[in-house]
A = this chain, B = another copy of it.
Amino acid sequence: MDKLLANQPAVLTIAGSDSSGGAGIQADLKTFAAHGCYGTSAITALTAQNTKGVQHVFPSSPEFLTQQLSSILDDIDVKAMKTGMLFDEKVAQAAIHTLKTHYASASSLPPLVCDPVCVSTSGHTLLDPNAIDTIIRELFPLATLITPNKAEAELLLSREARKSSRQIETVEDMLLAAEDLLSFGSKAVLLKGGHLTASVDDVRRVARAHPEIEVVRDGLLMSDEENMEILRVNCGAGGDSSALSSCELVVDVLHESSGSTSARRTMILCRSRIESTSTHGTGCTLSAAIAARLASGSDLANAVRFATRYTHLGIETADSTIGHGHGPLNHFHSMQQLFVPRITPTNPYPLSSLFIRKTSRVWKAYVEHDFVKLLGKGTLPKENFVHFIRQDYLYLRYYARAYALLAAKSSSFSAIGLATQTILNVLNEINTHTAFCATFGVSEETLLTQTPESPATAAYGAYLIDVGLRGDTTMLLVALLSCLLGYGEVGLWLKKNARPTIATPGSDDRWVILEGNPYLQWIEDYSGERYQGAVRMGLATIEARAAADPPSKHRLEEWCAVWERCTELEKGFWDMAMNLS
Contact = CB atoms under 8 A, between A and B. Distances in A.
A220 to B, nearest CB: 8
Interface stretch (A260-268, A322-330, A426-434, A450-458): A322-330
A322 B30 CA distance: 18
Interface residues of A, number: 128
A70 interface: yes
A325 B75 contact: yes
Contact of A353 (B51, B221, B313, B408): B221
Interface stretch (A3-11, A82-90, A183-191): A3-11
Contact of A553 (B2, B364, B552): B2
A554 to B, nearest CB: 4
A258 interface: no
Given A334-B341, A356-B228, A488-B230, A67 B40 contact: no
B21 A41 contact: yes
Contacts of A76: 20, 50-51, 322-323
A509 interface: no
B493 A357 contact: no
A64 B46 contact: yes
A469 B409 CA distance: 7
Interface in A547-574: 548-555
A197 interface: no
A274 B345 contact: yes
Given A75-B325, A221-B347, A550-B552, 9 more contacts: A26-B39, A38-B322, A76-B323, A226-B360, A227-B356, A227-B364, A229-B496, A316-B344, A408-B469
Interface of A: 2-8, 10, 17, 19-21, 26, 29-30, 33, 36, 38-43, 46, 48-52, 55-56, 58, 60-61, 64, 67-72, 74-77, 218-221, 226-231, 233-236, 239, 271-272, 274, 312-313, 316-317, 319, 321-325, 328, 330-338, 341-342, 344-349, 352-353, 356-357, 360, 363-364, 367-368, 408-411, 469-473, 475, 485, 488-489, 492-493, 496, 532, 535-536, 539, 548-555
